[in-house]
Amino acid sequence: MRVLRGLAALDPDIGVTLTVGAFDGVHRGHQQLITQLRQRAAALGGLSAVITFDPHPRAVLAPDNSVPYLTTLDEKIVLLEQAGVDVLIILTFTREMADMPAGTFLQLVQDYVNIQELMVGPDFALGRQREGTLPLLEQVGERLGFGVRSVMPLLVDGHMISSTRIRQTLAQGRVREAARLLGRPYRLYGEVVPGAQRSSELGVPTANLVCQRDALCQGLAMPADGVYATYALLDDEPRPAVTNVGVRPTLGDGEHLVATHILDVDEDLYGRMLGVEFIQRLRDEQWYEHPDQLVAQIQQDVRQARALLLNS
């Protein structure tokens, strides 16, 4: 996949089938659109191309009410490449771009890209005050010389998949449902940082990601506080694990973190990159009067997670 940061001229003799959007999460609905984009590009003898934005438009349009992301930009690039996109164009979203009429934006793109067809979802809107709905885009396409094709959304349980819907399921701790909508388990990545060592003293060492100060977690959607069966990704190799999201009321100092106990692994992970893949919520966070009660509960969590992960 060719990645362009900003508009750059592509071969004018090669037609492009294009789609535009934030594509946060690159979920199953996005994947269906991209599959049809690739098929249409092949039928027309050209390239498939995606225009996306950094930062997310809402971070510019409503900075005091911005939403957490489902993927970092780097993760989005990897996922779009895995989906088979030929060309990815990343545009810096600004207030000036937000105020640009839909026709002006598409004319600007066409100055660099030979658009054969624009593919969008039925509720898509582009440009100033979201004026560029499907009827207007069809008029713009007729004027500029490209077709516009609407793609029906993918429905799950009778409802359209959306990034908003996935954020809501995560906020409720429904990570299995989030995975069904994403087409993969939800993941967080970060650097393992030193902790207070209290979990190690209890015989259940954890690798801690402190997401408030970790730039890789900053701004990403967090599953609801609680305990989860997870996979820890060390060098992208999945290891069964139990992860606590929250403040660890029995042991913690009130700092919100992602603490992962990797089953059958006892090694120094400080400074290493760790991914956490959320598979199933096990329980809420709980406070225990005595640490021994917590240890007994963690041992039960480990048994439950081991049975769930190794038999799935």
pLDDT at 120 > cutoff 60: yes
pLDDT at 264: 86
Which comes out higher in pLDDT, residue 216 or 217? 217
| pLDDT surpassing 50 at residue 215 | no
How buried is 241 (Cβ within 10 angstroms: 0-12 exposed, 13-18 middle, 19+ buried)?
A: buried
**Residue range 226-279, pLDDT digits in tens:** 999 999 998 889 999 999 998 776 666 667 889 999 998 877 788 888 999 999
- Is pLDDT at 312 greater than 50 in this prediction? yes
Of the ranges 20-24, 207-211, 238-242, 308-312, which one carries the lowest mean pLDDT score? Answer: 207-211
pLDDT tens, residue by residue, 147-159 = 999 999 899 999 9
Q: In the predicted model, what is the mean pLDDT of the chain?
A: 90
pLDDT at 257: 84
Contact 165, 143 (CB under 8 A): no
For residue 58, what pLDDT is reported?
Answer: 87
Higher per-residue pLDDT: 90 or 257: 90
Sorted by where each starts, the structural domains of the chain and their CATH numbers stand as 2-159 (3.40.50.620), 185-310 (2.40.30.30)
Q: Helix H segments across 172-255?
A: 175-182, 198-201
The least confident of 73-87, 135-149, 184-198 is 184-198
State pTM to two decimals.
0.91
- Measure Cα distances from 212 to 168, 193, 294 in Å: 20, 12, 25
| pLDDT attached to residue 213 | 46
pLDDT above 60 for 73? yes
Per-residue pLDDT at 121 exceeds 90? no
The SS3 call for residue 102 is: helix
User: Which token pair is 128?
Assistant: 């100033």
- What tokens does 8 get? 């750059």
Per DSSP, helices labelled H in the chain are 28-44, 57-61, 73-82, 95-98, 102-110, 134-144, 163-171, 175-182, 198-201, 291-310
What pLDDT does residue 249 have? Answer: 63
For the segment 183-209, what is each residue's pLDDT rounded down to a tens digit? 999 999 888 887 655 555 566 788 888
Per-residue confidence at 218, pLDDT binned at 50, 70, 90? low
